[in-house]
């Protein structure tokens, strides 16, 4: 515990420094009973983007405010939440979408300021780390692969998680570092929009991902041969697809807000190669059938400037009405040879991840899947289910590839609960299946 004495309010932050997924107990003492205090936060995130939040609280009869107990009486969030001042942050003077640090080996630093009505101020800091002490980071540029390997402290071999990003592309280093902080060797593998790779998802060969899986097995020698694949959104679709296509290489699948069918390139597509309706995945040079391939049921286009319904994910429901094409585009998840964890938001407005996850569960049940299947479906959560205790306020955003605005859905508090609950669920899932 670190205490910050002042002439008035006194901050206590427990712990001051810890992993990003660890909740903190933040209290302010030394106040008058029922005194009002404004508490604000400021965090410098990636690319120099400043995010802040503010809320006002009333002290109890002992002159204490405890964020694990007390809801604000006004401000950027409105419920009891120990970390509400962090997930309710907004970018200052920009539309930045950068939630993490430029260097995941360095912590995010947040300054907290308390100010009374008399202008008496107190300050404190807290630090959120992606990488626990002893975690190492190594860039991988081998066998044509582009990724980053995070290795836990302590002797191996370790169970391994291959981490895939979504339609924003790039390399998901924050999640990889956090997996390693919990004892899993994590290979954050880029498959487009990463150094030396295509800037678009269009026509991504599954052979590239297969090479990544084979490299992990050969070079890293995972404990008991365990290699899970964890992916988000298009990466969730890809995780299910890899488990179904290469069951001998994938021990378990963790699919965040996934698709149950193969989709076209959509917002990450190359405009010169079909754009939104272009091919996403190929195998042996042959395109995989996808939901936008001459779909007879879709009559509007949410990514081409046409006016969509208020929830543009309606196009996915329309797309599934072409049952012949949907059957051809379906990911044959019954071929997966291990446990499956699905994570979704019931208010996902990017695409219907709750429905898609239920479709996967139904298929696995119909085929008497012999392994653990678990679906975590969160109320008031949208498409952007992330790591715990990061800002959740950007419900509308610009797609990082197409630059087209879209709505991810959910509410800030619902998304925050999903961020935390999903991550706890992932750790429980991995602990269960790697301890057997």
pLDDT in tens, the chain (436 residues): 444 444 589 999 999 999 999 999 999 999 999 999 999 999 999 888 899 999 999 999 999 999 999 999 999 999 999 999 999 999 998 887 888 988 999 999 999 999 999 999 999 999 999 999 999 999 999 999 999 999 999 898 999 999 999 999 999 999 999 999 999 999 999 999 999 999 999 999 999 999 999 999 999 999 999 999 999 999 999 999 999 999 999 999 999 999 999 999 998 999 999 988 999 999 999 999 999 999 999 876 666 656 555 556 688 999 999 999 999 999 999 999 999 999 999 999 999 999 999 999 999 999 999 999 999 999 999 999 999 999 999 988 888 888 887 889 999 999 999 999 999 999 999 999 998 6
Last residue of a domain, one of 87, 112, 129: 129
Identify whether residues 416 and 330 lie together within a single domain. Answer: yes
Active site residue 383: yes
Q: Which of 347, 348, 419, 420 is catalytic?
A: 348
- Give the CATH number for residue 21: 2.60.40.2240
Identify whether residues 219 and 300 lie together within a single domain. Answer: yes
Last residue of a domain, one of 102, 129, 156: 129
Identify whether residues 216 and 125 lie together within a single domain. Answer: no
Residue 267: domain span: 136-434
Helix, strand, coil shares, percent, the chain, to 5: 25, 30, 45
Active site residue 348: yes
Closest CA to 424 of 339, 341, 340, 358: 341
- Give the CATH number for residue 208: 3.40.50.1820
Amino acid 165: pLDDT: 97
Q: In degrees, to the nearest 5, what angle opens at C-alpha 128 toward C-alphas 425 and 413?
A: 55
DSSP structure string for 185-251: EEEEEE-SSSTTS-SS-TTEEHHHHHHHHHHIIIII--GGG-EEEEEETHHHHHHHHHHHH-TTT-S
pLDDT digits (tens, 9 = 90+) for 318-339: 999 999 999 999 999 999 999 9
Active site residue 158: no
Identify whether residues 229 and 316 lie together within a single domain. Answer: yes
Identify whether residues 238 and 159 lie together within a single domain. Answer: yes
Identify whether residues 109 and 172 lie together within a single domain. Answer: no
> Cα separation of 238 and 186, whole Å?
17
Identify whether residues 198 and 307 lie together within a single domain. Answer: yes
Contact 196, 139 (CB under 8 A): no
Q: Which of 21, 53, 383, 408 is catalytic?
A: 383
Tell me the CA end-to-end span of the chain in Å, nearest whole number: 37
Identify whether residues 398 and 421 lie together within a single domain. Answer: yes
For the beta sheet containing 2-4, the strands, ordered from the edge strand earlier in sequence to the opposite edge, are 2-4, 10-14, 25-29, 65-66
> Cα separation of 53 and 51, whole Å?
7
Q: Which of 233, 354, 357, 422 is catalytic?
A: 233
Amino acid 95: pLDDT: 80
pLDDT digits (tens, 9 = 90+) for 1-55: 444 444 589 999 999 999 999 999 999 999 999 999 999 999 999 888 899 999 9
Last residue of a domain, one of 129, 162, 187: 129
Does an H or E element contain 327, and which?
helix 323-329
Identify whether residues 105 and 173 lie together within a single domain. Answer: no
How far CA 78 is from CA of 37, 50, 56, 81, 412, in Å, comes to 15, 22, 10, 9, 11
Identify whether residues 14 and 143 lie together within a single domain. Answer: no
Identify whether residues 115 and 145 lie together within a single domain. Answer: no
The total number of structural domains that make up the chain? 2
Identify whether residues 115 and 229 lie together within a single domain. Answer: no
Q: Tokens for 320, please give them.
A: 């599934």
């Amino acid at each position: 515990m670190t205490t910050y004495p002042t002439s008035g309010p006194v901050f206590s932050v427990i712990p001051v420094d810890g992993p990003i997924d660890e909740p903190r107990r933040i209290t302010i003492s030394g106040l008058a009973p029922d005194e009002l205090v404004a508490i604000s936060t400021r965090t410098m995130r990636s690319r120099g983007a400043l995010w802040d939040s503010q809320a006002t609280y009333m002290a109890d009869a002992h002159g204490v405010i405890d964020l694990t107990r007390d809801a604000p009486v006004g401000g950027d969030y409105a419920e009891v939440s120990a970390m509400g001042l962090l997930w309710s942050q907004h970018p200052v003077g920009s539309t930045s979408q950068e939630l993490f640090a430029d260097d995941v080996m360095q912590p995010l630093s947040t300054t907290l300021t308390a100010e009374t009505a008399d202008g008496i101020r107190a300050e404190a800091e807290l630090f959120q780390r992606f990488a626990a002490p002893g975690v190492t980071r190594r860039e991988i540029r081998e066998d044509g692969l582009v990724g980053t390997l995070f290795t836990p402290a302590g002797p191996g071999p370790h169970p391994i998680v291959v981490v895939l990003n979504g339609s924003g592309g790039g390399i998901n280093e924050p999640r990889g570092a956090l997996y390693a902080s919990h004892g899993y060797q994590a290979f954050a593998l880029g498959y487009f929009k990463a150094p030396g790779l295509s800037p678009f998802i269009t026509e991504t060969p599954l052979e590239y991902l297969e090479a990544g899986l084979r490299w992990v097995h050969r070079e890293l020698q995972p404990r008991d041969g365990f290699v899970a694949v964890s992916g988000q959104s298009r990466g969730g679709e890809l995780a299910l697809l890899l488990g179904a296509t290469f069951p001998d290489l994938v021990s378990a699948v963790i699919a965040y807000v996934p698709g149950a069918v193969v989709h076209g390139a959509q917002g990450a597509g190359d405009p010169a190669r079909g754009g939104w309706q272009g091919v996403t995945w190929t195998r042996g040079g042959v395109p995989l059938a996808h939901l936008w391939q001459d779909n007879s049921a879709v009559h509007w286009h949410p990514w081409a400037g046409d006016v969509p319904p208020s929830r543009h994910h309606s196009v996915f429901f329309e797309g599934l009405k072409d049952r012949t094409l949907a059957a051809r585009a379906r990911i044959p998840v019954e071929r997966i040879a291990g446990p499956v964890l699905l994570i979704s938001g019931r208010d996902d407005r990017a695409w219907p991840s709750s429905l898609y996850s239920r479709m996967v569960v139904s298929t696995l049940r119909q085929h008497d899947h012999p392994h653990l299947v678990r679906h975590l479906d969160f109320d008031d959560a949208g498409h952007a289910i992330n790591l715990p205790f990061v800002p959740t306020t950007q419900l509308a955003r610009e797609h990082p590839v197409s630059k087209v605005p879209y709505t991810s859905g959910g509410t800030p508090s619902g998304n925050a609960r999903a961020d935390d609950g999903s991550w706890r669920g992932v750790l429980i899932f991995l602990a269960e299946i790697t301890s057997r």
